[in-house]
Amino acid sequence: MATEAAADDVSETYEQFLAKVKRINNVGNASSVLQWDQEVMMPEGGTPARSQQLSALSALHHELLTDDEMGAYLDELEDADLDDEQAAVVREVRREYERATRVPTELVEEISETTSEALPKWEQAKEEDDFSVFAPILEDLVELKREYAEHIDPDADPYAVLFADYEPYLDLETAEETLTRLREELVPLIDEIRESDADLAFDAFDGEFDVDTQEELTRDVLDTLGYDWDRGRLDTAPHPFSTGTQFDARVTTRFDAEDPLGALTSTVHEFGHATYTLGLPDEHYGTPLGESRDLSVHESQSRLWENHVGRSEAFWERFLPTMKERFPQLDDVTPAEAFEAANEVYEDNLIRVEADELTYHMHIVVRFEIERELIEGDLAVEDVPEAWNDKYEEYLGVRPETDAEGCLQDIHWSHGSFGYFPTYSLGSVLAAQLYATADAEIDDLETKVREGEYEPLHDWLTENVHRHGCRYTTPDLIEEATGEAFTADYFLDYVTEKYGDLYDL
Amino acid sequence: MATEAAADDVSETYEQFLAKVKRINNVGNASSVLQWDQEVMMPEGGTPARSQQLSALSALHHELLTDDEMGAYLDELEDADLDDEQAAVVREVRREYERATRVPTELVEEISETTSEALPKWEQAKEEDDFSVFAPILEDLVELKREYAEHIDPDADPYAVLFADYEPYLDLETAEETLTRLREELVPLIDEIRESDADLAFDAFDGEFDVDTQEELTRDVLDTLGYDWDRGRLDTAPHPFSTGTQFDARVTTRFDAEDPLGALTSTVHEFGHATYTLGLPDEHYGTPLGESRDLSVHESQSRLWENHVGRSEAFWERFLPTMKERFPQLDDVTPAEAFEAANEVYEDNLIRVEADELTYHMHIVVRFEIERELIEGDLAVEDVPEAWNDKYEEYLGVRPETDAEGCLQDIHWSHGSFGYFPTYSLGSVLAAQLYATADAEIDDLETKVREGEYEPLHDWLTENVHRHGCRYTTPDLIEEATGEAFTADYFLDYVTEKYGDLYDL
């Protein structure tokens, strides 16, 4: 009887705790709607009110997450007899709670104010192509984020603490080993490609492509891949993104009349993010079991669809005829040529967001190495441009001639986001590992991709990744889904084979 | 010294209080963004998540408004030495606080749950044209709203208490006198019109009007009137509305290929609401001084633009050429004919939202009399259809043959909104009073309207109405703006003259 009564108490506490967690997540999801609206719909004049609305919601979110009631729930549930799902929810909320309570409010506010000031400084510096405009406030941000890391864990490597904000369960050693391996194996491959005499159809999509027709084509590609329009929508945004919940996961894209592949690729990428969100279980909406795992896993889903599906020859066999209906000017292009054009390795590109699937990772390695040294105090802010340019020359064989095309190109540091970049590469690497497993487990996946039969791949990803939400930590999720630990083997095999074939290496 | 220190304390308390008020209003404004999105952008599947997000924000709004801290601020500020603006802010928040704290949470929840159930019942009843499907839950709602009123003020007329939710400062006597006077003076006027032999150009806009072109035309009319696109946008919605803040006030409309006036009129109406919002002072955003007065004043702004501008002959002289550019099929229509068509009095219309400027108020009188008797227990729910039909016959000379076209046509009661309807008529009446004052104070306003020079009218309304926010109570605002108390004189003069001329009475 005593035990049953105690179990009832736990169960009641857990229900109250869960109601509070849902409320917190609903506030967070409301903020996401406001942010989507701000990027996609809001008239320009709306900014002052929107900033205040978002900051009110963000403050409430923080207060609800860190109040005494939440602390008491977590303490009571810590040693309680919980089932696996309940334990996972407590684990995830505890983690958020700890990180949020350890940092003093004043520091949070100072970081928030400094990033608000940093954004226009970064914009001005980029506009004027002058790193020295941004350098002083970047120095402040580095210092503040070091302090922030110190509060969360004074004994840990501060960069590892910051990295864990974006990727809590894959540790920094894994990230570092992976990025080092990518550098060591991809730099020679990129060199070989640069020296290759292969004559590929990089001009297959040259020309002018009406933007309204491109918009129809992006709807075609979403139809082809099986986007659920009852739970989503497509809009344009200056920087494409995807956002939402399992009930409403929206994608955005952008158009360039001279680059029809750009909108397609970016749409398929955001579609990948959205399918992850849409695959989360409805019944766990508002709790960690109904929320996606962290950035690397999210990026694995976008990269899987973007690269392993959208840049495959099988996909182009399926999709090129649709594209020709919209753009008869492409009548002579063959699927093999489309495939080649979609996989061009750009030899002198300096810009991360315009990079191909292969050199992309060298852009990340540069950022990773620099931001890590910055946070650890091994590199002075004033020396960033030179370090950046040296690394570009070393890893990519091109040297930026301006700061704007060099270390000022990305917005991340002005947001105070240090430790974010590696998740892009980890996501691509994980995409290859997941796709290899799916390929082994689904009968003749390539034929299915060629025939536009995407449901088995959707189902496999939902079954093995999406439906779990945050039930498992990232390493456990990967182990469950693929039967082994996170590894770059599959990614390196994939690119070596694919680009070896393409470039006759 | 002591007095200064006390003044400092008050000032500090006031600042903290104001910060809290802003936070509460920002949560409310965030909800409005979510609601706009739900009506205009959200995919259908998004409902379950959106409902939870809105209910989390609504609960937080309520908790912040009614917590002990708010009570303590209000008590401390009640007797403090405040300036006029501060006193107005305290008055408005105190009022909201009192109404929110007097009603037990359980009753609020019960009302909220019952209205959630009532909405589909009302939809079903309307669909099946059977009032008995809706009657039982309507009975529950009447009972619950009576209880609600009893909690707020046990000594007051319960309908007066409910009315004050929508119109806190114009008392019920004023509303009743006004509606009675409208009934007494408009019923004979409508009869005269019905008997008139005047041959008016009601067919001027007959035909088919491409909906995409209509959309461009509604943008034209917003351009003509001076809508600030930097702080707004136009979209379509099944039930047009306007929402937002002084930084971002959006309008919606809808299109019917056979009724080009419908979209125009509805757009001008919503434009009127939006200009009020846009005229609120930026510097008081998030406080009562930066928020609009209640429903009657809001409706006065929409009706002023819709009726006194948009249905005037001067406006049609200006706008008809623009309309002809979009729709050359109207080439032979004259401004006088357009004016006549825009002012047709419908002799056998049963539907409120399709009513003209004149008979509209009889639709309101019917609803007002019935809902008042319902709440006061003088009419049984089961007798509503007959009472409704009798009143339509008496006031409008037409008798509904079905419940769907009769007492089931409006959504309001299913929301538990009793006391809302009168504000529509009060708004129209106030529009006439304000327009008459503006006309007296602006040199040759009619010529300006004819020439598309709307800035003086905008400026007058901003100066006399918008910029005050909730600084004055409604009666004081009306007195400040027009130099006299709320009166139906101007409205009755306006319609008597206008329709007398039109129909040769």
Q: Is the pLDDT of residue A25 over 70?
A: yes
Binary contact (B60, A23; C-beta < 8 A): yes
B251: part of which helix (H) or strand (E)?
A: strand B248-253
Spatial distance between the Cα atoms of B234 and B222, rounded to a whole number of angstroms: 9
| pLDDT > 60? residue A2 | no
**DSSP assignment, residue A24?**
H
pLDDT for B8: 77
Question: Using the beta-carbon criterion (under 8 Å), do B33 and A29 form an inter-chain contact?
Answer: no
Q: Residue B443 has which token pair?
A: 């040199």
- For residue B232, the chain A residues in CB contact (below 8 A) are 43
Q: How far A54 CA sits from the closest chain B CA (Å)?
A: 8
Mean local confidence (pLDDT), A187-195: 93
Find chain A residues with C-beta within 8 A of B244's C-beta.
46
A56 to B26: CB separation less than 8 angstroms, yes or no = yes
* A53/B30 Cβ within 8 A: yes
**A325 tagged catalytic:** no
User: How far B133 CA lies from chain A's nearest CA (Å)?
Assistant: 30
Per-residue pLDDT at B9: 79
In chain B, whose CA is at the least distance from the CA of A31?
A: B30
A30–B247 C-beta distance less than 8 A: no
In angstroms and rounded to an integer, the radius of gyration of the C-alpha atoms of chain A is 23
Cα angle B489, B456, B460 (rounded to 5 degrees) comes to 50
Element of type H or E holding B127 = helix B105-128
Q: Using a CB–CB cutoff of 8 Å, tell me whether A57 touches chain B.
A: yes
- The Cα of B435 is separated from the nearest Cα of chain A by a number of Å equal to 29
Q: Which of B92, B270, B291, B357 is catalytic?
A: B270
Query: Does the beta-carbon distance from B247 to A33 stay under 8 Å?
Result: no
- Closest residue on chain A to B28 (Cα): A53
Q: Which helix (H) or strand (E) holds B285?
A: none
Name residues whose C-beta falls within 8 Å of residue B24's C-beta, 6 or more positions apart in sequence: B61, B64, B65
Interface of B with A in 246-275 (CB under 8 A): 246-248, 250
**Minimal-distance CA residue of chain B relative to A25:** B53
**Six-digit token string for B460:** 């007058």
- Residue from the list B29, B57, B248 with its beta carbon closest to the beta carbon of A45: B248
Say whether B317 sits in a helix, a strand or coil.
Answer: helix
Phi, psi of B431 (to 5 degrees): -55, -45
CB B355 within 8 A of CB B323: no
* Tally of CA atoms within 13 A in the half-sphere of B396 that contains its CB: 28
Mean pLDDT of A354-379: 96
A vs B, Cβ pairs < 8 A, gives: 122
Within 8 A of B50 by CB-CB distance, chain A residues are: 247-248
- pLDDT tier at A4 (50, 70, 90 boundaries)? low
Per cent of chain B over pLDDT 70 is 99
* Residue closest to B300 by CA, chosen among B434, B184, B458: B434
What per-residue confidence (pLDDT) applies to A282? 98
Distances (CA, A) of A248 to A33, A281, B34, B47, B50: 10, 13, 13, 8, 9
Residue B197, token pair as written in the block = 């032999």
Q: Which residues in chain B are contacts of A229 at CB distance < 8 A?
A: 43
Q: Alpha helix (H) ranges present in B208-312?
A: 211-225, 260-278, 295-303
Query: Which residue, among B8, B470, B418, B432, has the nearest Cα to B182 in the 3D structure?
Result: B432
B-chain CB neighbours of A244 within 8 Å are: 46
Of the listed ranges A26-40, A463-477, A479-493, B108-122, the least confidently predicted one is B108-122
CB of B56 within 8 Å of a chain A CB? The answer is: yes
Phi/psi at B243 (5° precision): -155, 160
**Residue A171 phi/psi, 5° resolution?**
-75, 170
Identify the pLDDT of residue A49.
96
pLDDT tens-digit map of A280-325: 999 999 999 999 999 999 999 999 999 999 999 999 999 999 999 9
Contacts of A53 in chain B (CB under 8 A): 26-27, 29-30, 33
A29: amino acid identity, one letter: N
Using CA coordinates, name the residue in chain B closest to A56.
B23
- Tell me which chain B residues have a C-beta less than 8 angstroms from the C-beta of A285: 48-49, 52
Q: Which residues of B touch A46 (CB under 8 A)?
A: 231, 244-245, 247-248
**What integer pLDDT is reported at residue A1 of this predicted model?**
46
- A41–B247 C-beta distance less than 8 A: no
Is the reported ipTM for this assembly greater than 0.90?
Answer: yes
Low-confidence spans in chain B with pLDDT less than 70: 1-6
CA separation for the pair A220, A234 (Å, rounded): 11
Nearest CB neighbour to B285, from listed A49, A228, A229: A49
Residues B137 and B121: beta-carbon distance below 8 Å: yes
- For the beta sheet containing A234-236, the strands, ordered from the edge strand earlier in sequence to the opposite edge, are A234-236, A248-253, A242-245
CA distance A204 to chain B (A): 36
Whether B497 and chain A come into contact, CB under 8 Å, resolves to no
Contact A67, A40 (CB under 8 A): no
Residue indicated by tokens 């006029």: B84
Six-digit token string for A380: 């002075």
How much is the pLDDT for B1? 46
Preferred mutation among B25, B55, B248, B252 to probe A, highest tally of A CBs within 10 A: B248
Give B-chain residues touching A67 at CB under 8 angstroms: none
pLDDT one-digit tens code per residue, A51-70: 999 999 999 999 999 999 99
How far B232 CA lies from chain A's nearest CA (Å)? 6
Compute the distance between CA of residue A162 and CA of residue A267 in angstroms, rounded to an integer: 30
Which residue, A199, A441, A505, A128, is CA-closest to A344? Answer: A199
Partner-chain contact A231 B46, CB within 8 Å: yes
d(CA A298, nearest CA chain B) in Å:
21
CB contact under 8 A, B285 and A59: no
Given pLDDT bands bounded at 50, 70 and 90, which one contains residue A8? confident
d(CA A176, CA B488): 77
What whole-number distance in Å separates Cα of residue A366 and Cα of residue B14?
A: 52
Give the residue with greater pLDDT, A33 vs A10.
A33
- A56: closest CA of chain B, how far (Å): 6
Mutate to test the interface with A, among B18, B53, B235 (most CBs of A within 10 A): B53
Put simply, the answer to whether B30 touches A245 (Cβ < 8 Å) is: no
Contact criterion met (CB < 8 Å) for A246 and B49: yes
Query: What Cα–Cα distance (Å) separates residue A68 from each residue in A74, A94, A232?
Result: 10, 13, 38
- B43 and A233 within 8 Å at the Cβ level: the answer is yes
Inter-chain touch B23–A49, beta carbons under 8 Å: no
For A179-191, letters b (16+ CB in 10 Å) and e give bebbbebbbebbe
Task: Annotate A307-373 with DSSP letters as a single string.
Answer: IIITTSHHHHHHHHHHHHHH-GGGTT--HHHHHHHHTPPPSS---GGG--TTTHHHHHHHHHHHHHH
What pTM was estimated for this model as a whole?
0.95
All residues of chain B having their beta carbon less than 8 Å from the beta carbon of residue A290 are: none
> pLDDT tens digits for A90-130?
999 999 999 999 999 899 989 989 998 999 999 999 999 99
Q: Which among B37, B248, B285 is the nearest to A33, CB-wise? A: B37
Helices (H), B327-396: 335-341, 360-375, 384-396
Alpha helices in B153-171 (DSSP H): 158-166
Give the DSSP letter of residue B306.
I
pLDDT given at position A3: 57
What percent of chain A is helix, strand and coil (3-state, nearest 5)?
70, 5, 25
Contacting residues for A341 by C-beta, under 8 A, at least 6 apart: A200, A201, A202, A203, A204, A205, A261
Q: Are A81 and A10 in contact (CB under 8 A)?
A: yes
CB-CB under 8 Å, A232 with B52: no
- Out of A34, A230, A285, closest to residue B44 by CB: A230
The beta-carbon neighbor of B52 closest among A26, A47, A246 is A26
- Our CA-based measurement puts residue A53 at a distance from the nearest CA of chain B, in whole angstroms, of 5
Chain B interface includes A228 (CB < 8 A) = yes
> What's the rounded Cα separation, in Å, for the pair A447 and A26?
41
Residue that has been written with the tokens 């001329």 in this structure: B501
What residue has token string 């035909």? B207
A19 touching chain B per CB within 8 A: no
Map A157-180 to HEC letters: CHHHHHHHHHCCCCCHHHHHHHHH
From A92, A215, A270, A317, the catalytic residue: A270
A291 shares contact with chain B (CB less than 8 Å): no
Hey, is the C-beta of A43 within 8 angstroms of any chain B C-beta? Answer: yes
| Chain B residues touching A23 at Cβ < 8 A | 56, 59-60
C-alpha B176/C-alpha B270 separation (Å) is 26
Q: B356-415 pLDDT, tens per residue?
A: 999 999 999 999 999 999 999 999 999 999 999 999 999 999 999 999 999 999 999 999
Residue A347: pLDDT above 90?
no
